Amino acid sequence: MCMAWGRGLRPGVVPGAMAAERALAMATCTAPVNIAVIKYWGKRDTDLILPINSSLSVTLHQDQLKTTTTAAASRDFTEDRLWLNGAEVDVGHPRVQACLREVRRLARKRRGGSEDTATLSLLSYKVHVASENNFPTAAGLASSAAGYACLVSALARLYGVEDELSEVARRGSGSACRSMWGGFVQWQRGERSDGTDSLAHQVAPETHWPELRVLVLVVSGKKKPVASTAGMQTSVETSPLLKHRAEVVVPERLAQMIRHIRERDFEGFGQLTMQDSNQFHATCLDTFPPIFYLNDLSRHIIALAHRYNTHHGHTKVAYTFDAGPNAVIFTLADTVDEFVEVVRCSFPPATNGDQFVRGLPVGSAALPQELMAAVVTEPVPGAVQYILHTKPGPGPQLVDDPSQHLLGADGLPRRHA
């Protein structure tokens, strides 16, 4: 996590006393996507982004899924500016401003009233921020979680803040607090009205379960029809099932899930992951008017997973869906080759056969005839755009290489939309 970074000078980063001399301070970080296996849905405080229930997620490896963000401050900047995937967007968004304000507050607090004029100057400069995702934005792949975790990480590095940062990231996007840690992460609901105890902490590091693998089945890169923020508030207001879930179901499931993870019990982990995903989408259906994040293809994938597990007589794959139609499949390394071939036969690639599987290597597998007959029913060609093979990974990382900065020496994006 960012608070563990060292304090030495870095290429391309101008901390504290150096800022006034060079007039430009810059820091670049990467941050991961996380996928919740015990879902968060609904806020009890929309301004502070305090959840109605605790949640638990798996941080995915940044080699396959990440956001990269560069933050720069300069006495020459005349206004704060923000670019996302090369296009300038409104930097005045309340959540962006909340993150910027909180990191600056922590930076001032850390100085403890210091008269360090260079540091004070840096905090008074306007900032430019550029952020890029290497995965579809707003398609149900936790893009906002990675984005805000990365924003907070880069700003914290820029200003030399090494505090616990999950509370700040939460102010941008609730699930972003979980992306501040690697491995298996719990976001505690907290009880205080000011949100100071609504924090994320690591249940187990990414190295804890080496055999665990993740397959992201991308069925749509389109923006979801109902944004998460709006959807969950409608659910809070109209769904009795959501209230029961938050108060009665989730606390017990969290304890069970933590036990399954610590014991590396895939049978228990997989079943509970699927059950919680199903209940989350049931609360969306229980919302009035109902919210539909799953589509027909999502339901095909759910049925396929259950046929596959039934054929083998135990849980070998487990699906979960966030607020979007893309499936995330958890499995173990020794199952990947066979299940990827099952997916390939069930959803034959239309035109990109050589690019259908991306990420970590996947070997070939010959499917037994009895498995084909039991599991692969009516193929739907071209329905799955591609499969991304990944695994649990670490939290935010500092990028030391100045050539990887997204902003140039002029403070403008090196890549334009």
Q: Which domains does the chain have, with CATH numbers?
A: 2-205+395-404 (3.30.230.10), 212-390 (3.30.70.890)
pLDDT exceeds cutoff 70 at 368: yes
Tokens of 222: 């389109």
Give the residue carrying structure tokens 């890029």: 132
Lowest mean pLDDT segment, chosen from 109-123, 209-223, 308-322, 394-408:
109-123
Lowest mean pLDDT segment, chosen from 18-32, 95-109, 288-302, 387-401:
18-32
Residues 129 and 70: beta-carbon distance below 8 Å = yes
213: closest CA among 32, 394, 389, 342?
A: 389
pLDDT exceeds cutoff 50 at 12: no
Residues 59 and 181: beta-carbon distance below 8 Å = yes
- 49 secondary structure, DSSP code: T
Chain segment 25-38, per-residue pLDDT in tens: 999 999 999 999 99
Chain segment 73-119, per-residue pLDDT in tens: 999 999 999 999 999 999 999 999 999 999 999 998 887 655 556 66
- 407 secondary structure, DSSP code: B
Q: What is the bridge-based pairing of β-strands 87-89 and 317-320? A: unpaired
Tokens of 139: 């398609």
Confidence class of residue 134 from pLDDT cuts 50, 70 and 90?
confident
Give the CA distances from residue 60 to residues 209, 345, 370, 395, in Å, rounded to whole numbers and listed in that order.
Answer: 13, 26, 34, 9
pLDDT exceeds cutoff 80 at 269: yes
291: closest CA among 350, 229, 248, 352?
A: 229
Predicted pLDDT at 117: 63
Predicted pLDDT at 239: 98
Cis upstream peptide for 289 (omega within 30°): yes
198: closest CA among 180, 218, 223, 217?
A: 180
Enumerate the β-bridge partners of residue 217.
Answer: 327, 387
More confident residue, 407 or 218: 407
158: closest CA among 100, 227, 85?
A: 100
Distance between CA atoms of 247 and 2, rounded to whole angstroms? Answer: 33
Q: What is the bridge-based pairing of β-strands 184-187 and 87-89? A: unpaired
Give the CA distances from residue 106 to residues 155, 164, 239, in Å, rounded to whole numbers and listed in that order.
Answer: 11, 10, 38
Residues 286 and 239: beta-carbon distance below 8 Å = yes
The contacts of residue 87 (CB under 8 Å, 6+ apart) are 417
Q: Give the total residue count for the chain.
A: 417
Distance between CA atoms of 358 and 263, rounded to whole angstroms? Answer: 30
Chain segment 336-361, per-residue pLDDT in tens: 999 999 999 999 998 766 789 999 99
128: closest CA among 24, 15, 32?
A: 24
